Amino acid sequence: MSMSPPSPSSQTGFPMVDPFGRSIDYVRVSVTDRCDLRCTYCMAERQIFLPRAELLSIEELDRLCSVFIGLGTRRLRLTGGEPLIRKGFMDLVAALARHLRSGALDELTLTTNGTHLAEHAEALARHGVRRINVSLDTLDPDTYRRVTRGGDLSRALTGIEAARAAGMAVKINVVALKADNAADLPALVAWAHGEGHEMTLIETMPMGETGIDRTDQFLSLTEMRRDLEARWTLTPLAKRTGGPSRYVRVEETGGTLGFITPMTHTFCETCNRVRVTCTGRLYLCLGQNDHEDLRPVLRAGDDAAVARAIRAAVSRKPKSHDFRIGAGLAPAVARPMSMTGG
Ligand code: SAM
Ligand code: SF4
């Protein structure tokens, strides 16, 4: 597969700045809406996936990412759906690695459920992926099977081990779920830190219909943090990634723990990111519906026009999201996380 760099006219190298003065230098790109799991907070049991023709091709994804890099994007996260099941995914990683080598890109990362990581960890590391986020909500095989609707915990654990063996730093993402893992979270934190991994706890966000009531799943991390503070000493860290995470060091384990609390705090003032769906829609905010459809411009073949469309969209990035969870409330946004990419 031959992939060309973006045309010089789209390359400025300076980050885009939105109307609120925020530099936009981080892009998350969903490469597929499909997944081999069906986590209860993310997808419906009989999730309907997009026709393949609607997805951007691997070449189109490479062109689009490269245009973003030309517009000053320094960090790129590939996600999904499950990125490692997208056909040609490793070709995309291999192609994007040229931007790491040239110094145009600081970081190429991915978020994965880990089930196919064992096969790909070495190649990812070889292409320059140094950090990887793996989603794992429990260490109990039965709970894992129930939450993921059929997943095999041992595959995810083998994948995490392979990533470590390949030299990548692993961050474990955990969605806090009232009924499924609330009681096990301290043990999960202790396990991750014992293995040398960072961990981030995430509140469930109301995205897409999953067939399950969000009010029943939602666990406030403010309460969870109080529980953890009764057990351990949590020292706030200055570390910021421009995203919603706030970090602490757990003194007793020596590990880092992040909290993503979109429902209880706002984190929008320092937002540095935009997201692209697997069909090429650019969303300026995870929790808002305004978007720009980049696929027609991309398919017209003019990268300079793609760059102009991105700039125009960023110039209307909203100030903040509008998430609420409550009995009977519809999801704030109809698209599931698997389309926009977490
Ligand atoms: N399949 C990969 C995985 O699970 O890591 C990547 C895509 S997944 C959509 C990205 C992240 O979004 C995961 O950490 C997942 O736990 C999280 N996620 C999915 N649906 C969510 C929701 N409704 N609220 C909060 N986090 C969610
Ligand atoms: Fe798949 Fe990730 Fe969604 Fe779970 S959270 S269903 S692994 S895309």
The binding-site residues of ligand 2, defined as CB within 6 angstroms of any ligand atom, are 35, 37-39, 42-43, 80-82, 113, 135, 338
pLDDT at 222 over 90: no
CA of 196 to the centre of ligand 1 (A): 22
How many CA atoms within 13 Å lie on the side-chain side of 265?
15
CA dist., res. 191 & res. 262, Å (int): 25
Ligand nearest to the CA of residue 219, numbered in listed order? 1
Mean pLDDT computed over 151-169: 98
pLDDT at 326 over 90: no
Residues 6+ apart with CB under 8 A from 50: 33, 278, 279
**Bigger pLDDT: 264 or 262?**
262
Q: Which atom of ligand 1 is nearest to the CA of 82?
A: 1
162, containing H or E segment: helix 153-165
Residues 92 and 322: beta-carbon distance below 8 Å: no
201: nearest Cα among 234, 172, 238: 172
pLDDT by residue (tens digit) across 8-67? 334 456 789 999 999 999 999 999 999 999 999 999 999 999 999 999 999 999 999 999
Q: Whose CA is nearest to atom 8 of ligand 2?
A: 81
Instruction: Give the whole-angstrom CA distance, residue 127 versus residue 108.
Output: 9
What is the average per-residue pLDDT within 160-178? 96
Which of 47, 77, 135 best tests ligand 2's pocket when mutated (most atoms within 8 Å of CB)?
A: 135
CA distance 173 to 197: 10
Q: Are 82 and 112 in contact (CB under 8 A)?
A: yes
How many CB atoms sit inside 10 A of residue 278's CB? 26
Atom of ligand 1 nearest to the CA of 338: 9
- CATH for the 23-270 domain, from 3.90.1150.10, 3.40.190.10, 3.40.50.1860, 3.20.20.70: 3.20.20.70
Best probe residue, ligand 1, of 40, 43, 111, 174 (max atoms within 8 Å of C-beta): 111
Task: Please tell me the least confidently modeled range out of 32-41, 273-282, 326-335.
Answer: 326-335
Ligand 2: which residue has its CA nearest to atom 4? 39
Other beta carbons within 10 angstroms of residue 48's beta carbon come to: 7
Dist CA 35 CA 49 (whole Å): 9
Best of 202, 213, 216 for a ligand 1 pocket test (most atoms within 8 Å of beta carbon): 202
One DSSP character per residue, 99-124 reads: HHHHTS-SEEEEEE-STTHHHHHHHH
pLDDT over threshold 80, residue 337: no
Instruction: Return the ligand number nearest the Cα of 134.
Output: 1
Tokens standing for residue 332: 């704030």
